[in-house]
Amino acid sequence: MLEKILDGNIQIADSVIDWKESIKIAGKPLLQKNIITENYITAMIESIEKLGFYVILRENLAMPHARPEEGAIGTGVSLLKLNKPVYYGDSKVQLVFVLATKDADSHMEILMKLVELFQDDESIEKLINSKNYAEIEKIIKKY
């Protein structure tokens, strides 16, 4: 399931300037597919500035998101894999998953698969160490 929803939404970058840039880059595939608007990216950044780094779900992984009414047209997920970590406050992050959902319910199945992945230490380690799209796709295929 994740393989299908992440199809065409995976990016690999060596590094980014800061956490804000990581969100802008990570959100780009969803923006290009009209799943989110530019306002959704702004809302994700403003939410973190206001509430802090609540998007850190585990070491090396962040999942920025905003409310559906802040610019989510559809439901989707994108992934930015960084070779060099970016800091979200004091936390190092190399995997940035952007979640967009058009309403309160349509993302539950996706969220359950993401949680399954996020709890799998071995898969997260493999994602962090992956060098190309084929390696990433192989890891997410089982979710």
Check 30, 43, 63, 65 and give the catalytic one.
65
Q: How far apart are CA 4 and CA 112, in angstroms?
A: 15
Q: How far apart are CA 96 and CA 9, in angstroms?
A: 12
Residue type, 78: S
Which DSSP helix (H) or strand (E) runs through 141? none
Closest CA to 22 of 77, 62, 75: 62
Is 65 tagged catalytic?
A: yes
Q: What is the residue whose two structure tokens read 């969220």?
A: 111
Which DSSP helix (H) or strand (E) runs through 19? helix 19-32
Residues labelled catalytic: 65
